[in-house]
Amino acid sequence: MPKRGKKYLEAVKKANAETKHGFDEAVRMALDASYAKFDETIDVAVRLGVDPRHADQMVRGTVVLPNGLGKDVRVLVFAKGEKEKEALDAGADFAGNDDLVEKIQGGWFGFDKAVATPDMMGTVGKIGRLLGPRGLMPNAKTGTVTFDIARAVSELKAGKIDFKVEKAGIVHVPMGKVSFGVEKIVQNATAFLETIIRLKPASSKGTYLKGIAVSTTMGPGFKIDTASIKDLIK
């Protein structure tokens, strides 16, 4: 087990592992426990009552966070002709086709999200083994394979996130920065949780939201009373 620093141990004292809080209170406590010198990210982890091994219980989706993520998202678009121009006009940081593929094959990954027009997927497929493990492969299910390039770019720049339940049944997503304050974090979390609830598989039986916790990058986690979510999203 890694040795923890004094600041972390002090922060842990504020978190009782057995106590569950209302969502607003948990966010406030996580912010109060933040001690890093940089602007930490606020993360939310949700444990779902699903078995991802079954295709009909896979939970995957996207949501545009109303307050963004608090960072500049560098967007790359694989497109050609007018669509390449549309991408740049919409605010994409990089746009192109074969030239970008060659650059990535050379080891360059100076972007956070990638979008592609459907007619470019044959070309993009050549670097699928490079993009996939980094979570950068365009995917129609997340809206990043589309001819509506302007919309895709603007949503990603505005703070669109995609999520997918892990093998253990947990969805882990960022909700913004400590500097956002409680209100903006709660607004982002509300949008995310509304989406999670809407995506509940019909085959999922029993309790769907089994556990929720919020934490900062370096800080301890604070458990949330799932019953309080009803008030959050009503």
Domain of 87: which CATH number? 3.40.50.790
User: Residue 98: which domain range?
Assistant: 75-157
Residue 218 domain-assigned (yes or no): yes
Instruction: Let me know if residue 147 belongs to a domain.
Output: yes
d(CA 69, CA 220): 20
Query: Which letter, b or e, does each residue of 85-106 get, where b requires 16 or more Cβ atoms within 10 Å of its Cβ?
Result: ebbbebebbbbbbeebbebbee
Residue 56 and residue 170 in one domain: yes
Do 107 and 207 fall within a single domain? no
- pLDDT per position as a tens digit, 43-56: 999 999 999 999 99
Residues 56 and 164 in one domain: yes
Task: Tokens for 173, please give them.
Answer: 């997503």
Count of domains forming the chain: 2
Looking at the fold, whether 86 and 146 belong to one and the same domain comes out as: yes
> Which residues in the chain show pLDDT less than 50?
1
44 in a structural domain: yes
What is the pLDDT of the chain when averaged over all its residues?
Answer: 90
Q: Is residue 1 part of a domain?
A: no
CATH code of 172's domain: 3.30.190.20
- What single-letter amino acid sits at 206? G
94 & 109 share domain: yes
Please list, in sequence order, all residues whose beta carbon lies within 8 angstroms of the beta carbon of residue 130, skipping any fewer than 6 positions away.
104, 105
Per-residue pLDDT, 1:
45
- Check whether residue 169 and residue 152 sit in a common domain: no
Model's pTM, two decimal places?
A: 0.81
Domain check: are 145 and 186 in the same one? no
State whether 85 and 145 are in the same domain: yes
Structural domain ending residue among the three candidates 128, 157, 186: 157
- Phi and psi angles of residue 44, each rounded to the nearest 5 degrees, phi first: -120, 130
Residue 230, CB-side half-sphere exposure with 13 Å CA sphere? 4
Q: Which of 126, 157, 188 is the last residue of a domain?
A: 157
Sign of the Cα pseudo-torsion (171, 188, 191, 117, in order): negative
Which of 157, 176, 208 finishes a domain?
157
Residues 44, 55 within the same domain: yes
d(CA 192, CA 154): 18
Residues 181 and 107 in one domain: no
Q: Are residues 41 and 106 in the same domain?
A: no
